[in-house]
Structure formats: C-alpha cells, structure tokens
Structure 1
Amino acid sequence: MKYLPKIKKKTIALPLFLLGVIFTGCKDQKEANNDNENAGIETNSEEVEDKAGLNTLSAKEKEEGWQLLFDGESTEGWRGYGKESFPDGWVIEDGALKVQGSGAGEAGGGGDIIYKDEFKDFELSLEWKVSEGGNSGIFYLAEEIEGEPIYTSAPEFQILDNERHPDARLGKDGNRKSASLYDLIPADPQNAKPVGDWNEVSIIVYRGTVIHTQNGETVVEYHLWTDEWKEMVANSKFKDWENFVNAGGDDKKGYIGLQDHGDDVWFRNIKIKKL
C-alpha cells in the first residue's frame, strides 16, 4: 500500500515536467516572434504568404480572362523598344522587373521596354515602387515608329518620387506627379505611397475612355480622340506630335511600355485583361 502512492507520484511528475518544457518553449518562441515583429523582421511563414500570390493569377482571374505579362522569373514576352532583344540595364530582383538606374536620365541605361503584343480595349494592372528621387512611367497604346522614341506616340501614366524629384514642381497644377497623365492631367487625389512602398495601379482603356487608378482610387479620367482631347494636346508641348494626338494609330491599339528614366524602379504583378 505504501509503494503505490510512490508510483502515482512519478507518473504525475513526468507529464508535468514535459508540460513545463512545452510551455517554456512556446513562451520563448512567442517572445522571439514579438521581438522580430518589433524589429520589423517578418517570420518565414509571413514571407511565404506574401510571396505566394505574387506574379500569379487566381482561379477567378483566369475565369475573367486576365493574362499574366510577367511571371517573376523570366523576361519572356518583353523586349527593348525598337529592338529585337531584351536590353541590358533591366533585371529581375526579388520577383520584380527592375530598371537599374544609370544616373544619366533618359540618356543612359538600357532604354524603354515593351510587351510583345498590342492591345486595344483593356484593363492593365500592376504594382510599382520607386527609389529616392526616381522617375519612370507606364506607356500605353504606343506605336513602334523607327527613329522616334516611345513617348511621341503614347500617353504616359507618370511614376515619380513626388517628394524629391523636381518634376513634381514643374508642369501645371501637379500634372507631372505620380499617376498623372504626364504633363496634361494631374492625378486627383494625389495618393502615392512613400518611397520604398508598393503602389497598386490600374489603367483602363475602353473605346477611347481612359481611367487611371492608384491605390484603390480613380485619379484621372479622360477621353481620347475627342475635340476636348485635341484641344488639350494643342495647348501642350505635344502639340506638334501627330502620333501622340492619334494615340493608337488607325487601329486604335498599341504596346504597353515601361520607361527607363535612369532611376531604380521596380514593377511586379503585371497583368492585363482584354475588354
């Protein structure tokens, strides 16, 4: 009778000891995770979750007809404007298509790039972030005209570090700030995120109506080929650019282009849906 309680004590003590170890381990892990969070360090599970949806199409997007233009691993489908190959000066970095800054503006680097197919009525969606003082742009309805740069035929969704780049103070009423129709219509509201943060963009072109959205808000709306459009262009620096006035040419379609303006800029989640 005296021996049985001793066995009972030992069988109870062992599970309690193990529970103590488990509790201590969980506490230590929780504290470590809190330390990482306070230090701005993401856990591995968060990193996997963040990267899992990058440069991919969901089942719903596939059903809706979205087409992925960049898979995060290759430059397939892209080439230099006016070139047959993909230029030096652009690289893939952490799942993003990056133009490497030359420090020489448009005079240096690999030059602008375009996607191989032309699009007419569409919705383009992507994310961008810019380096300090950075400048770039997204072209649409571009024609590839020998001897002419891309911007002579294509409207441009401006990409800019509004806080540092002097372009933000030039133009008229902020029409050179981020998400503006460059040098023509200012983005309103001006909602670009700080340098280093990703901005979400949508550009819709449908039968001449063009809509710029940035970070969930419509910031520009205008109508191509109308009398109002022609008057606006006639009162701008583009006034003598016939191909710009007639953006998209006779067929009202063109290339999607990304600009090399000599600064570090990143693009990802580039996808398009024909309308």
Structure 2
Amino acid sequence: MKKIALVFTLIIGVVFNINAQTGVGVEKPNNAEILFDGSRKMLDEKWTYWKGPRLAAEMPIKWEIVRDPIDEGTVMSSNDPAGAGGKYGAADIVTKDEFRDFRLHVEFLVEEEGGNSGVYLQNRYEIQILDGDYGLHGMAAIINEHLPEQEAYNGTGQWNAYDIKFKAARFEDGKLKEKARATIYFNGKKIHKDKAIQQVWGGPNSGIDGGNDGGKGITDTLGGIKLQAEGHSVLFRNIWIEKIDLSNAGTDF
C-alpha cells in the first residue's frame, strides 16, 4: 500500500508541475503567441512606443538588443535614453495587439541594484519590477494593492520569470460589474492567488484609464502588454501570451 501511495503522489506531483508550467525557461504552449524571441525583427513587428501624455521617444524603438549575459542568444534592454531619471511613460513599449483574458509569461533580469521597470497587464495594471524593495511598491507587488505572499526574487544579474493568468474587468450596460483579477507565479512560486485589482496607479502617464477618476474609472477597452522604461537596464526575453476565455472562471492555476 505504501508503494501504491508513493506512486500516486508522484503522479499527482508530475501532473501538477505540467499544469503549472511556470518558471524561467518555460516554453510556450502550442496555441500561445511569442511576443518577443530576442530579435530586433520581432521587437519592431510586435511592439511600439505607448502614445501616452508623457511620450518623449520617437520610432524606431530605442530599446537595444544585447547579448544575453548568462545564456546564449540576445535580449532587449529597457534602458531607453528618453526614460532617464525615472520618467515612466516617456519611452514605455506596448504590444500592437490588445488582449482581454490571457496567460502571460515574461522573463527579466535586473542588471544593477535598484533597477526599476514593470509589466503592465492591458496597459493598466502594473506588476512591479524593482530591485531592493519588497513593499507594496516593490518587487512582484500588484502595485500599491497586493504584496507577494512570499519572496522569490533571484537577485540582480539572474533571470526571473513572471507567469500570470489575468481576467479583465467585466461590464454590464456600460457599468463595472467585476474588477480585474490575476494569479501570479514568480520563479515557480505562487505569490498572488486570484487577486482583485482595484485601479490604475500613477496617473495618466502610467497607462490606460490612469487619468480617469484618479485611476478608478476603468473602461471596457482592451489594452496591450506594456514594459516600462525608467532609465535602468532591465533585460527581457522569452515573452509569450495565450489568449483564453475566463468568462465563467477565476484565475487560479
């Protein structure tokens, strides 16, 4: 009986790991779309500058394609000169495609202490990247709303991965019926479980609806995946997204 129980436990563990599909180096599912594969070609094809009120950069995108400092291949750096001094919104890049519900994978490496960037869901809700801070405005926070349930950051000079399942806000007759929600894994550890997201933070320079009622005026419009430039060298690679329909489901996985 002990052997049977052990085999059963191992099977359950394997199935769980297959379903989770989280962490650095995870390959995309067959029906997912690659948003960045390390090439200049894909950066130009699938991304553009976000045309927010503080935009100071001009096309083509000035995020450099550089050698991966750890593994083979190339990656992109968020150190756009227009974003120097922490001017978020001045040189942020966003996907040309827009999304509602999705599963997203993003890998990033902070090159220096204090490195700052962010991953924006629907160009609204920021999942923070900030070396040296684990507060509500710090690493892996759903910014200003939810602290990560555990610390999972690999540190500067190492690759990290966010795996996110996101459900967009729902509306009925033009009125907000259900707030956006997200479940997030950080380097394979679940840090946010089906958390409701209240608003956009940072004002109109931050993202879509940031200037509506102090960020609380969420609208029923789609948005892209945005990466933030704040004058720091944060590297990105292996970004993919899978469109899903969560109309009758939560985000936990």
TM-score above 0.5, yes or no: yes
Structure 1: tracts of 5 or more residues without a match:
1-53, 143-153, 163-167
Is residue 141 from structure 1 mapped to residue 122 from structure 2 by the alignment? yes
- Please give the root-mean-square deviation of Cα atoms over the aligned residues, in Å: 3.0
Q: For the residues of structure 2 that align with 1:264 and 1:70, how far apart are their CA atoms? A: 17
Q: In the alignment, which of 126, 129, 154 is matched to residue 156 of structure 1?
A: 126
Bigger helix share: 1
**1:55–1:270 contact (8 Å) kept in structure 2:** no
Q: For the residues of structure 2 that align with 1:72 and 1:237, how far apart are their CA atoms? A: 29
Structure 2: tracts of 5 or more residues without a match:
1-23, 68-73, 169-179, 204-209, 245-253
SS in structure 1 at match of 2:122? strand
Match of 1:250 in 2: 220
Give the fraction of aligned pairs with identical amino acids, expressed as a percent. Answer: 30
Is residue 219 from structure 1 mapped to residue 199 from structure 2 by the alignment? no
TM-score, normalised to structure 2, is 0.65
Shift of 1:56: 9.8
* 1:178-229 CA distance string (max 9 Å, x none): 11011221112021111000001112112532112101112124124xxxx3
SS in structure 2 at match of 1:96? strand
Shift of 1:57: 5.5
**2:140–2:148 contact (8 Å) kept in structure 1:** yes
Shift of 1:109: 10
**1:115–1:255 contact (8 Å) kept in structure 2:** yes
**2:65–2:76 contact (8 Å) kept in structure 1:** yes
Change (3 A) 1:116 1:191: same
SS in structure 2 at match of 1:69? strand
Match of 1:128 in 2: 108
**1:117–1:255 contact (8 Å) kept in structure 2:** yes
Q: For the residues of structure 2 that align with 1:267 and 1:204, how far apart are their CA atoms? A: 19
Q: For the residues of structure 2 that align with 1:271 and 1:108, how far apart are their CA atoms? A: 23
Q: For the residues of structure 2 that align with 1:176 and 1:56, how far apart are their CA atoms? A: 27
Change (3 A) 1:101 1:109: farther
Shift of 1:139: 0.7
Change (3 A) 1:121 1:264: same
**1:78–1:86 contact (8 Å) kept in structure 2:** no
Shift of 1:97: 1.6
Q: For the residues of structure 2 that align with 1:213 and 1:264, how far apart are their CA atoms? A: 23
Shift of 1:85: 3.3
Change (3 A) 1:79 1:56: farther
SS in structure 1 at match of 2:86? helix
TM-score, normalised to structure 1, is 0.60
**2:104–2:242 contact (8 Å) kept in structure 1:** yes
**2:107–2:239 contact (8 Å) kept in structure 1:** yes
Shift of 1:243: 7.2
Q: Matches of residues 33-182 of structure 1 in structure 2 within 5 Å?
A: 61-62=29-30, 65-74=31-40, 75=43, 76-82=45-51, 85-88=59-62, 90-94=63-67, 95-100=74-79, 102=81, 104-107=84-87, 111-132=91-112, 133-142=114-123, 154-162=124-132, 168=133, 174-182=135-143
* 1:217-271 CA distance string (max 9 Å, x none): 12124124xxxx37xx8xx877974373244x214x3111000011000010000
* 1:60-82 CA distance string (max 9 Å, x none): x22xx110001211212111111
**1:119–1:274 contact (8 Å) kept in structure 2:** yes
- Does 212-221 or 107-116 show the bigger shift? 107-116
Q: For the residues of structure 1 that align with 2:239 and 2:131, how far apart are their CA atoms? A: 21
Change (3 A) 1:255 1:262: same
Number of residue pairs the alignment of both structures matches: 187
